[in-house]
Structure 1
Amino acid sequence: MDSILVRGNGALSGEIPIAGAKNACLTLMPATLLSEEPLTLTNAPRLSDIKTMSTLLRSLGAEVVSLQDGGVLAMSSHDLTSTWADYDIVRKMRASNLVLGPLLARMGHAEVSLPGGCAIGARPMDLHIHGLEALGAEIELKDGYLLAKAPKGLKGAEIALRFASVGATENIVMAAALARGTTVLTNAAREPEIVDLVKCLRQMGAQIQGEGTERIEIQGVDRLHGATHEVVADRIELGTYMLAPAIAGGEVECIGGRLDLLGAFVEKLDEAGVAVEQTNRGVKVSRKNGRVKAVDVTTAVFPGFPTDLQAQMMALMCTAEGVSELHETIFENRFMHAPELVRMGADIEVHGGTATVTGVKKLKGAPVMATDLRASVSLILAAMAAEGETRVARVYHLDRGYEQLEKKLMGVGAEIERISGE
């Protein structure tokens, strides 16, 4: 099993290119199931999760061809042969459940395994089921599979989500795009990935308005056609690399980054003493003066502070001046990186959904173990500012969400290498 070796090596300098968004691409790929015509995605990230979704779509009879070294995905669902999303594929990635809405809308039935993914807490499907049932679906759970059918077809409805779930919003919007009549979805998720999905669906002929707000209105159409769509920049990768010079020092420009994708995150960096500037090429980041200041963070749905940047922010707070509190409101079990940071000399106490971090002047290298995708990268960020050498074990999570991480960090001066098969 691979590990990553990091040696604290001082300030960073240079440029890091930001890839297309993993979470957006994983949502856009199932949209090909809605049409018999080709859907092509450009600026696709080169990640293992994208390969898993490709495998799932192919198992349904879709064609998925990776071009330009994986940066372009050419897909076609003109001849689907199955509506069975098998557990052996779905268990590897929670986003696999996003085939449910499109299959139900176009084929009238779907059999989708309950999803898997990394161990950061339960992500129940009840909101997805509630929304699709409101559109006329009949869904039962049997042997770990959601068996869904729409014997009378899908019909527009008014749906109010109890929680602004990104996945449920995506599944409902895709299903409603082919439903008869008008669907009004309230308390919808507002994330940039939702906006990007709607932009793509609109290019395919869907009639949707209100994306990026709490109220989305979908006027169903009889069919969707093909399209070519550029995947939006990955805001979580962007935020992660913005934290690198904040933690290790120096100045880095994140090429292709957009501050409007990050909401409250940018405000917290400013409050902590990190200079952030939108340039004509991306986002430039550096410390304002010396040691950063402790700030309190509460995760929230967009435009609030992203849960997917909480672990990385904790790494920054480990060496901040003062005491910070990080409140995790989205997922349980998402402080599993804290004990590993403590092994590096951090002062962290966790009580339920709150982590209290008392900043120390310096972290020290140590052997640590990654528990999930974002925890992995938080340990690498912390190691870049630590004295000595840190070995991060079980980094297979990283390849699910970060494209060429070692290469990008080496490009700005980090001393980092992957150790294979140990």
Structure 2
Amino acid sequence: MSSVLTIRGGVPLTGRVTVRGAKNLVPKAMVAALLGNEPSVLRNVPEIKDVEVVTSLLQLHGVTVEKDPISGDLTLDPTNAKTASHTAIDAHAGDSRIPILLCGPLIHAIGEAFIPDLGGCKIGDRPIDYHLNVLRQFGAVVEKRPGGIHISAPGGLKGAKISLPYPSVGATEQVLLSATRAEGITELSGAATEPEVVDLIAVLQKMGAIISVQTDRTIRIEGVPDLGGYNHRALSDRNESASWASAALVTRGDIFVEGATQRDMMTFLNTYRKVGGGMDIGDDGIRFYHKGGKLNPLVLETDVHPGFMTDWQQPLIVALTQSEGVSIVHETVYENRFGFTEALIRMGANIQVHRECLGSVPCRFGQRNFLHSAVISGPAQLTGTDIDVPDLRGGFSHLIAALAANGTSRVTGIDIINRGYERFTEKLAGLGADFDITSTE
């Protein structure tokens, strides 16, 4: 069964939404529980698909996962960790890329790991080579087998000196999860330092890990033989917060995002203000609203933290279709993230995508035939159309475009959005959106 969302656009979104734990932290913190010799408690956990997938994978490996029926807090007990069947792992992983991060913890817990051939959002290659190379440097043996990859470390994982060619979040997390119980010292240069990575470090430190972060993107981990459990409240999801902020701008609405945190969104907030969006920043959240005047065009480049996050780019581009003038967006993190603009163009947006680096400095995608720059001319009158969701952030962007458009849109593939947006249809209904959901075979 799949769902179809029929949206009747033109209604400003107004009201309040609550954003809980970050999709880019919670599944990784759940995996980290495998490293402990006693139960861990994770709080502020959202009800999203990625949490369901990791719960299943952990349970397959003998981890007991209990959810508090009132708070939603998770208690994860890894004391009976075991090997899982390859077929079961493949069935439960689906198209998630999370299994790759279980490798280091599983090797420490049971001596081996298996990851199925991986899927994920259609926004670029996202190669797992970084991960496999990292594991090899720790002394792991990587073997390609039918349906996936088997990883083991007969002598145990050993500390290593690792340099990443690009500050990959996933590879940084792989190092952290593998190095904390590896024998000796690990030094990682070129590390990602996103707030979600720092929060994972906080989780590991609570378990007993010794980790220091230097100012030059170097992380130093002193391996310890054993780790305990943790009790941790996950940081709020800044990506979901920014998405609702863009939704308020696109639909000329007014949304208070409970849980949005200024500290982790400063670069986004600066850009939002430059575009012409209004905001009131409070201790418990941020109010985002359309001020009623014209929106301003801008020149924007995505980058790793503390730059403008790539996940913020797609919803904001929808807002830029309504600005007065020409905007330029240069994507430097994922090479194929502009595929979602095809639907916006069919809705009436004026967007051109280019292979050239239309930014202040050439990026790693330059001269490689990737369509990674976009020129957006506005304002454009959007009209409803049929849309099939291509990926998580692009899918949410299509939703808010449909909510702002004249006429009716039919959106399919919306299950992808459940991967990172908790109860998003309930939130849309609470904000006054006009839509229906139907199921199809």
Query: Which residue of 238, 252, 257 corresponds with 1:254?
Result: 257
1:262–1:104 Cα change, 3 Å: same
After TM superposition, the score normalised by the length of structure 2 is 0.90
Query: Which residue of 184, 204, 208 corresponds with 2:207?
Result: 204
Any conservation in 1 of the 2:83–2:110 contact (CA below 8 Å)? Answer: no
Quick one: distance in 1 between partners of 2:339 and 2:70? 34
Any conservation in 1 of the 2:249–2:319 contact (CA below 8 Å)? Answer: yes
CA apart distance, 1:237: 0.5
3-state DSSP class of the match of 2:440? Answer: coil
Quick one: distance in 1 between partners of 2:160 and 2:219? 12
Quick one: distance in 2 between partners of 1:407 and 1:417? 11
Aligned counterpart, 1:80: 81
Find out whether 1:93 has 2:96 as its counterpart: yes
Letter in 2 for 1:53: V
Quick one: distance in 1 between partners of 2:120 and 2:68? 27
Letter in 2 for 1:410: A
Please give the residue correspondences for 1:343-358 in structure 2 after superposition, counting only pairs within 5 Å.
343-351=346-354, 352-358=371-377
1:332–1:143 Cα change, 3 Å: farther
CA apart distance, 1:234: 0.6
Quick one: distance in 2 between partners of 1:369 and 1:145? 29
Query: Which residue of 132, 136, 144 corresponds with 2:135?
Result: 132
61-70 or 148-157, larger mean C-alpha shift: 61-70
Aligned counterpart, 1:102: 105
3-state DSSP class of the match of 1:68? Answer: coil
Any conservation in 2 of the 1:190–1:211 contact (CA below 8 Å)? Answer: no
Any conservation in 2 of the 1:345–1:363 contact (CA below 8 Å)? Answer: yes
Letter in 1 for 2:396: V
Query: Which residue of 403, 408, 419 corresponds with 1:400?
Result: 419
3-state DSSP class of the match of 1:308? Answer: helix
1:385–1:48 Cα change, 3 Å: same
Any conservation in 1 of the 2:252–2:292 contact (CA below 8 Å)? Answer: no
Any conservation in 2 of the 1:298–1:326 contact (CA below 8 Å)? Answer: yes
239-248 or 266-275, larger mean C-alpha shift: 266-275
Any conservation in 2 of the 1:177–1:207 contact (CA below 8 Å)? Answer: yes
Query: Which residue of 164, 167, 181 corresponds with 2:170?
Result: 167
Letter in 1 for 2:32: A
Find out whether 1:192 has 2:211 as its counterpart: no
Quick one: distance in 1 between partners of 2:21 and 2:74? 12
Quick one: distance in 1 between partners of 2:241 and 2:7? 20
Q: For structure 1, which runs of at least 5 residues remain unmatched after alignment?
A: none
1:180–1:68 Cα change, 3 Å: same
Quick one: distance in 2 between partners of 1:25 and 1:144? 27
Quick one: distance in 2 between partners of 1:59 and 1:109? 14
Any conservation in 1 of the 2:187–2:219 contact (CA below 8 Å)? Answer: yes
1:62–1:212 Cα change, 3 Å: farther
Quick one: distance in 2 between partners of 1:161 and 1:20? 28
CA apart distance, 1:213: 6.4
Quick one: distance in 1 between partners of 2:79 and 2:417? 34
Any conservation in 1 of the 2:349–2:380 contact (CA below 8 Å)? Answer: no
Please give the residue correspondences for 1:192-271 in structure 2 after superposition, counting only pairs within 5 Å.
192-210=195-213, 214-271=217-274
Aligned counterpart, 1:42: 43
Deviations along 1:210-255, one digit per CA (max 9) or x if unpaired, are 1896111111111111122111101110110111111111322111
CA apart distance, 1:111: 2.3
Aligned counterpart, 2:312: 309
Quick one: distance in 2 between partners of 1:335 and 1:171? 28
Quick one: distance in 1 between partners of 2:71 and 2:117? 28
CA apart distance, 1:125: 1.6
CA apart distance, 1:83: 5.6
Quick one: distance in 2 between partners of 1:13 and 1:212? 41
Find out whether 1:368 has 2:369 as its counterpart: no
Quick one: distance in 1 between partners of 2:193 and 2:160? 20
Letter in 1 for 2:25: A
Q: Give the root-mean-square deviation of aligned CA atoms.
A: 2.0
Quick one: distance in 2 between partners of 1:151 and 1:61? 21
Aligned counterpart, 2:367: none
CA apart distance, 1:102: 1.0
Letter in 2 for 1:100: C
Aligned counterpart, 1:275: 278
Name the % identity.
Answer: 35
Aligned counterpart, 2:343: 340
Q: For structure 2, which runs of at least 5 residues remain unmatched after alignment?
A: 355-370
3-state DSSP class of the match of 1:151? Answer: coil
3-state DSSP class of the match of 1:193? Answer: helix
